[in-house]
Amino acid sequence: MAVKHLILLIDDEQEIADVLNRAASSVFPEAEFMHVTSFAEAVSYLTGLAGRGPRLILLDRDLQSGLDGLDFLALLRQHPQGRLVPVIMLSASRNEQVAQKAYEQGANAFTTKPFSYADWKAYVQQLRAYWFQTATIPRLHFPKKSDS
């Protein structure tokens, strides 16, 4: 069985999770997406981790709630293990000011969401090629609360 690469997707749109899973099934079958839809769910996921954590985070800029992706990124970068996870900020637009703020807060990349299935498939292929075949990402272990 192929090794699964856990990727945390933080996006309020279920359709994004669906298209990522569908695209990955053909071009990155060893990817496993964990989908949460809000800032609160993302915080709960992060604080509840014990054991294997995500190798990569895809983080939507606009989570359609009071707190957004930039707020979660700031919180993540203060977490002892979370700060080590590469984060790719996703946005529906190419707003350079938002991109700059994302980089200032510790994002590893800022990308515009693809619009078609073919574009999402290419996006997933590029994620695989760079983050899992070219770059070296540490395997992080999140200790149980009693371990810390």
Cβ-count burial of 111 within 10 angstroms (0-12 exposed, 13-18 middle, 19+ buried)?
middle
**Can you tell me the distance from the alpha carbon of 92 to that of 57, in angstroms, rounded to the nearest whole number?**
17
Quote the pLDDT of residue 64.
81
Q: For residues 55 and 37, is the Cβ–Cβ distance under 8 A? A: no
141 within domain boundaries: no
β-strands 31-36, 109-112: how paired?
A: unpaired
26 within domain boundaries: yes
What's the whole-number mean pLDDT along residues 47-60?
A: 91
140 within domain boundaries: no
Instruction: Please report how many Cα atoms fall inside a 13 Å half-sphere around the Cα of residue 57, on the Cβ side.
Output: 30
Q: How many domains does the chain have?
A: 1
75 within domain boundaries: yes
pLDDT digits (tens, 9 = 90+) for 71-107: 999 999 999 888 999 999 999 988 899 999 999 999 9
Write the DSSP symbol of residue 115.
-
Nearest to 27 by CA among 113, 111, 133, 123: 123
- The CATH number covering residue 71 comes to 3.40.50.2300
pTM of structure: 0.92
142 within domain boundaries: no
109 within domain boundaries: yes
Comparing 76 with 64, the larger pLDDT belongs to 76
Burial per residue of 25-44, b for 16 or more beta-carbon CB atoms within 10 angstroms, e otherwise: eebbeebebebbbbbeebbe
39 within domain boundaries: yes
130 within domain boundaries: no
What's the whole-number mean pLDDT along residues 128-139?
A: 92
* Owning domain of residue 78: 5-46+54-123
Q: For residues 110 and 99, is the Cβ–Cβ distance under 8 A? A: yes
